[in-house]
Amino acid sequence: MGSYEDAGAAGDVVLDYSHLSLNTFNVDSISDERKRDAKQLYLSYNRLASLPSSVSLFCKLEFLDISNNGLVDICDGITRLTRLKTLVAKNNRLDEFSLPKEFGSLQLETLNFSGNRFEEIPLQCMKLLRLHSLSLGGNRLKSIPAEIENLTSLELLYLGGNLISAIPPEVANLPYLTYLVLCDNRIQSIPPQLTSPLYSRLHSLRSLSLHNNLLTYLPREILSLVHLQELSLRGNPLVVRFVKEMTYDPPSLLELAGRTVKSRNIPYSACDLPSNLLRYLDLASKCPNPKCAGVYFDSCVRQIKFVDFCGKYRLPLMHYLCSPECTSPCSSNPQSDAESEDERSVPTDRLQRVLLG
Amino acid sequence: MCLGSGRSPFSIMVQSIELQIGLPRQHIKGESLKLGEKLVALRQLSSSGKQARREVTTMEQTEVVKPETLDDLIKILHKIFESDCINVEEVQNIMESYESKPQEWKTYAKFDQYRYTRNLVDEGNGKFNLLILCWGEGHGSSIHDHTDSHCFMKLLQGQLKETLFEWPDNRSQGEMVQKSQRILQENKVAYINDSIGLHRVENVSHTEGAVSLHLYSPPFQTCQTFDQRTGHRDTVKMTFWSKFGERTPFETTLSQENN
């Protein structure tokens, strides 16, 4: 965030050609020595339609800023900048076809493509295994590829201001992710794997930005993100009142059998069952009710509890229970584990699912 | 020649500032001075604050002093706030007339990756607090009040969205009522106090950070934050990310923003 100006040590050769209304970048007018030694090159706020391939002559370059130009693509020459750690190319006209084929071979740690025209995160970007920081805010992204999990060093992922409607569960496999920004998108729900203490590796997540989306509730497991200090939720149609969904379909025979196998720990192996049933048994979810050793598959009761969390008042957290008789354990916040007000007044046999607010 | 130097201010008409090409250029970073040097020279000149300029109108008797630097602005504010009576328009005009120069406030503009920061610049002899707030991309505040104080907010860099809200009814529980919304441009000054209402401030840009200069008088240490969906309020303690250019970590790390 803020400025990148402090990148690099004192004594580094910094070439500043920003704000000069340049139509072209004339590399020849720079001495060979300067080209060889330059560590940082600023070319932002010009009128460059393209970056000359001769930029590769800046062989020691670590920092390149080509923001606020009219760039429609990035030249092949850039892939020869083997020392390049930071590339900032905000506010250009780049899309997923603009990158050279070997872009993924760069050793980038910080990449900022915000304010461009990307409709997809290019697959070349998923090869940048040293990436700590990826910004694609203010583009036209419709989805996040599952390959995002390849970026195992990722600490910052900024995808605000796009057209994303779903978060792939693979985002949960980024163990160093501390800042995840998904604001100003079209997300309707958070996949449970993202916050599940069982599946998620998001142990470092410190800040989660979800404002201006289409969320009506959050998964209960969000409470397990113990390092979470910042959470933004304004501009979501979060429910204010919710009545326990009692019209739940009774479990099928398959489900009942599966529940019995799992809860009684009946041993089984690959030669006992066809593969589709083995897969089915793997999908069992444990009932969060501490008094219930049960599991459920598809048939469950949904219940919302309102919990104060991370500076927010009464967040609707969705609980899944294996049967109407189960209750969810208390939240980590003793202050407000209030049930929906309506539940007490409506008779059990006539409760219907109502989403209000 | 720039106006006002060494002449009586009351006898001078307002004229536009004439640019002079040919004044000695400061050394510019970077190679190839032939490239766009004229543009660079013009840019350097118009931002040079070396000569004090006074703009005066003959119609009014009072002298309007334009603060050239941030230090100038702080000195003028100290003088204005010596009196117990605040003329809101006067403060707004003075703050608006300072043209933001990043070199002058860079040392206070400390950004945090995760949320906006509050950086104390001056304690105004106890009469006011002057702060610089740094908003990363997408950072926003909760809906909050101003604890019976005046609040002036000037954009030093970038843009901020201000959404005004009515105070929630003590009895009714429901979504808070939005009054108005606007985008504040660079160098503009907004004013609010509790009788006007409550507001939320956000940097809605996904590509640029924003920096704002805030004046609160009298200074206050706590304020109320409001939940937009229900009008529920909490009292929170205000903390500083830095004071006078030095980073000052605070004890609590839990978020107190309802945003």
Residues of B in contact with A160 (CB under 8 A): 137-138, 206
Q: Is the dihedral of CA A268, A273, A275, A281 positive or negative?
A: negative
Q: What is the pLDDT of residues B74-123, one digit of tens each?
A: 999 999 999 988 899 999 999 999 999 999 999 999 999 999 999 999 99
A274 in contact with B, Cβ within 8 Å = no
Instruction: Indicate the pTM of the whole model.
Output: 0.79
Q: What is the pLDDT of residues A306-350, one digit of tens each?
A: 888 888 888 998 887 777 777 666 433 333 334 443 334 443 333
Decide if B257 and A207 are in contact by the 8 Å CB cutoff: no
Q: What is the pLDDT of residues A5-40, one digit of tens each?
A: 445 677 889 999 999 999 999 999 999 999 999 999
With helix as H, strand as E and coil as C, how does chain A read? CCCCCCCCCCCCEEEECCCCCCCCCCHHHCCHHHHHHEEEEECCCCCCCCCCHHHHHCCCCCEEECCCCCCCCCCHHHHHCCCCCEEECCCCCCCCCCCCHHHHHCCCCEEECCCCCCCCCCHHHHHCCCCCEEECCCCCCCCCCHHHHHCCCCCEEECCCCCCCCCCHHHHHCCCCCEEECCCCCCCCCCHHHHCCCCCCCCCCCEEECCCCCCCCEEHHHHHCCCCCEEECCCCCCCCEECCCCCCCCCCHHHHHHHHHHHCCCCCCCCCCCHHHHHHHHCCEECCCCCCCCEECCCCEEEEEEEEECCEEEEEEEEEECCCCCCCCCCCCCCCCECCCHHHHCCHHHCCCCEEC
What is the ipTM metric for this complex? 0.80
Decide: B51 and B65 in contact? Cβ < 8 Å.
no
Could you say which residues from 110 to 149 on chain A have a Cβ atom under 8 Å away from some Cβ of chain B? 114-115, 135, 137-138
- Of the candidates A138, A156, A240, which has its C-beta nearest B113's C-beta? A156
Decide if B112 and A17 are in contact by the 8 Å CB cutoff: no
All structural domains of chain B, each given as residue ranges with its CATH number in brackets, are 11-97 (no CATH), 102-257 (2.60.120.10)
Nearest CA in chain B to A14: B30
Residue B98 to chain A, least CA–CA distance (Å) = 22
Residues of B in contact with A19 (CB under 8 A): 43
Decide if A311 and B200 are in contact by the 8 Å CB cutoff: no
Decide if A161 and B206 are in contact by the 8 Å CB cutoff: yes
Residues of B in contact with A206 (CB under 8 A): 114
Cα distances (angstroms) measured from residue B137 to each of A94, A309, B17: 20, 23, 36
Q: Tell me, what's the pLDDT at B5?
A: 40
What confidence tier does A274 reach under pLDDT thresholds 50, 70, 90?
A: very high
What confidence tier does A225 reach under pLDDT thresholds 50, 70, 90?
A: confident
A206 in contact with B, Cβ within 8 Å = yes
Q: What is the pLDDT of residues B188-240, one digit of tens each?
A: 999 999 999 999 999 999 999 999 999 999 999 999 999 999 999 999 999 99
Residues of B in contact with A13 (CB under 8 A): none
CA–CA distance, B64 with B4 (Å, rounded to integer): 13
Residue A232 to chain B, least CA–CA distance (Å) = 5
Q: Tell me, what's the pLDDT at B2?
A: 30
User: For the residues A155-169, what does the mean pLDDT come to?
Assistant: 97
Mutate to test the interface with B, among A140, A229, A232, A341 (most CBs of B within 10 A): A232
